[in-house]
Structure 1
Amino acid sequence: MWRPLLLLSLLLCNDLTIAKATESTQLIILPSQHGDRTCSAPDRNLNDKPIIGILTHPGVGTFDAPRDHSLSYYEKNVSYIAASYVKFAETGGARVIPLIYNEPQERLFQKLELVNGVIFTGGWAKEGLYFDIVQKIFGKVLEKNDAGEHFPVYAMCLGFEILSMIISQSRDILERFNSVYYASSLQFIENANIEGTLFQRFSPELLKKISTDCLVLQNHQFGISPDNFLANPSLSSFFSILTTSADKDGKTYVSTIRSKRYPVTAFQWHPEKNAFEWGSSEIPHSEDAIQVTQHAANYLVSEARKSLNRPSHEEVLSNLIYNYKLTYSGYKGSGNDEAYIFT
């Protein structure tokens, strides 16, 4: 008796399987069934091949040579870019042209015309030729924006400090802080408007975590307290404070600012290190920390895409960072794992 019932059950099950398979097959649309399809035209208002110029910094940038912060670096005609800054720009989908701070200025500013944005890196130099070149490049950037070209700047650590000195017109604006190789959180100021800033890209969860967890690396001895920043009319009218942080002694300093008028963002922290530097145990490498790096890179390059400057293909190729040798220096521990050295 059970055999006919079993056979009937198997037949019914088989019919249902065939019906489901037939139904599933009908949902599959082959390319030929779409008819003629073309990809949507690219947005002509955006530049999908952005180039970021990164200004070199005096010295060799590695721990294979003495860390002598003297003018001998200028005399030796040596400068560098930590590779993490290059990788950072590439993460967002840009290529890099090095702006060699001590090359003939005519050549330097010709290169500036090939890029769609600029990064001022971390470092130590706050005077001499390097300071003068940062000031001149920044002046050109403001001119470009005033003339209608969207031209972004990212200034990190030393870059933050030099822009603060330039805008405030004071070499005494900086204060001492104890934040050398120190992971920290970012505290958003009350009623901070993050619309149109890097932080608008963060998920609500990541926004919460970056204010409670140590997701960014600080590595600086100088900074500006919020009170002194706001007390300087030039600084407070040019920049909006987005975040503050505390050093190892609990002293609070301004950690992220955004220009009120120009596409200029400055970080006292290092958005490039989380994903690309490994020399210090303080550098955050969690998935959340990597997201911070990726969002920061994507935001910079999204701003650069708004630049309509499109130099010739040949000019770009002959000036890209790929024309230079990369030096590995990670054996020495903390510092830059890799650097491009220009002599």
Structure 2
Amino acid sequence: MLSALVLLSLGSLVAGHDRPIIGILAQETTHDIDGFFPELNYTSYVQASYVQFVEAAGARAAPVFIHRSQQYYEDMFRQLNGLLLPGGNSLLGSSGFGSAARAFWELAHDHPEVYFPMWGTCLGHEELAYLAGGHGVLELCDAQNQLVTVQTDSTLLQSRMFANATPEQVALFTDEPNVVMFHSKCVRPGAFARLAPEYHSVATAVDRHGLEYVAILEHRDLPIYGTQFHPEKAAFEWSTLERVDQISHAPSAVSASQYLGEFLVSEARRSENVFASEAEEEAALIYNHQPYFTGSRGSSFQMCYFFDDSDFM
């Protein structure tokens, strides 16, 4: 049972609309950043570009930690105005990232009366597909460090994500290679049939071998969205490493990023969740944590926040 929270409308807190807070789910550290700051003894991280992505669109960010109790995730579900599942290399099922994502997924389905947007980017997009259809919906593909356009039909304009888009905004995604892919697994159209009861396929893309896969998905009933590409990288990731050299920083790529960020935040503004007190809200925000310049130490991520979950594992 979801615990009851006393949600107070304090003078300094506005329910939804003007002061949304979007959670960014942390995940286990990987070889790309392990050991950069050994003195911190960290076990999980959040890339700063996801924080910047939601902040630039008018929201605040709060880290959502892994390996926490069900009660913690229930409280966050009732207090945050949405959740972003980031890209990365965590396991979809047997990981702290996967377990936390499933907790929120189940809460969103069990409590549709709570408007709680969920957004998955790359790994997060795959997690949303996995939660609906299992491992069998994901197949191998070759789209690491690939700048692409997306293909669509009337489905795109019928989606919530693009219902109010101008032709010029749609063209940012369909006419110019503005979205960058970093994945080796994807949802092919055939496998998507298993997800069709829950999701619309809003747009597709093709990998280096011409294999088509779902690039954007949208839940039919709940405010749940996924992009296989990384909208946050255009404006906030600046590595010149060869393995990420297809990230576009062109004005059109930044505009595409901003369009999606503003859509996500517009969804978060529809949430009426608030924290029970100003003190609890302030304690949850990302401002309590320091970002570290990982780009100077060989990472393809410009900055990261690090967390120690050892007491909860």
TM score, norm. by length of structure 2 = 0.84
- Per mean C-alpha deviation after superposition, the further-off stretch among 318-327 and 196-205 is 196-205
2:212 is aligned to 252
Structure 2 counterparts to residues 48-63 of structure 1, below 5 A = 48-59=18-29, 62-63=32-33
CA offsets per residue over residues 237-268 of structure 1, 9 Å max, x none? Answer: 11001100011121111100111111111111
Alpha-carbon distance between aligned partners in 1 of 2:233 and 2:188, rounded to the nearest angstrom: 24
Alpha-carbon distance between aligned partners in 2 of 1:199 and 1:185, rounded to the nearest angstrom: 16
For CA contacts below 8 A with separation 6 or more, give which structure has more relative contact order.
2
1:317 is aligned to 282
* Superposed displacement of residue 213, structure 1: 1.6
Alpha-carbon distance between aligned partners in 1 of 2:249 and 2:42, rounded to the nearest angstrom: 35
Q: SS where residue 300 of structure 2 aligns?
A: coil
Give 5+ residue unaligned stretches, structure 2: 1-13, 309-313
2:35 is aligned to 65
Does the aligned pair in 1 maintain the 2:138–2:191 contact within 8 Å? no
2:9 is aligned to none
* Superposed displacement of residue 222, structure 1: 0.1
Match of 1:123 among 88, 92, 98: 88
2:226 is aligned to 266
Aligned-residue identity in percent: 29
Q: Could you say if the C-alpha distance between residues 90 and 164 of structure 1 is closer, same or farther in structure 2, counting changes exceeding 3 Å?
A: same
Q: Does 1:141 align with 2:108?
A: yes
Does the aligned pair in 2 maintain the 1:155–1:267 contact within 8 Å? yes
The structure with the greater share of residues assigned to helix is 1
Match of 2:262 among 286, 295, 298: 298
RMSD: 2.1
TM score, norm. by length of structure 1 = 0.77
1:218 is aligned to 181
* Superposed displacement of residue 179, structure 1: 0.7
Q: How many residues align?
A: 284
* Superposed displacement of residue 62, structure 1: 4.9
Q: Does 1:241 align with 2:201?
A: yes
Q: SS where residue 87 of structure 1 aligns?
A: helix
CA offsets per residue over residues 250-293 of structure 1, 9 Å max, x none? Answer: 11111001111111111111111111111232111111111111
CA offsets per residue over residues 11-40 of structure 1, 9 Å max, x none? Answer: xxxxxxxxxxxxxxxxxxxxxxxxxxxxxx
Work out which of the two has the higher radius of gyration on C-alpha atoms and give 1 or 2: 1
Q: SS where residue 199 of structure 1 aligns?
A: coil
Does the aligned pair in 1 maintain the 2:156–2:162 contact within 8 Å? no
CA offsets per residue over residues 190-223 of structure 1, 9 Å max, x none? Answer: 3214245232354312322421321001000000
Alpha-carbon distance between aligned partners in 2 of 1:46 and 1:241, rounded to the nearest angstrom: 28
Does the aligned pair in 1 maintain the 2:139–2:185 contact within 8 Å? yes
Which amino acid is the alignment partner of residue 306 of structure 1? R
Match of 1:278 among 238, 241, 249: 238
1:163 is aligned to 128
* Superposed displacement of residue 181, structure 1: 1.1
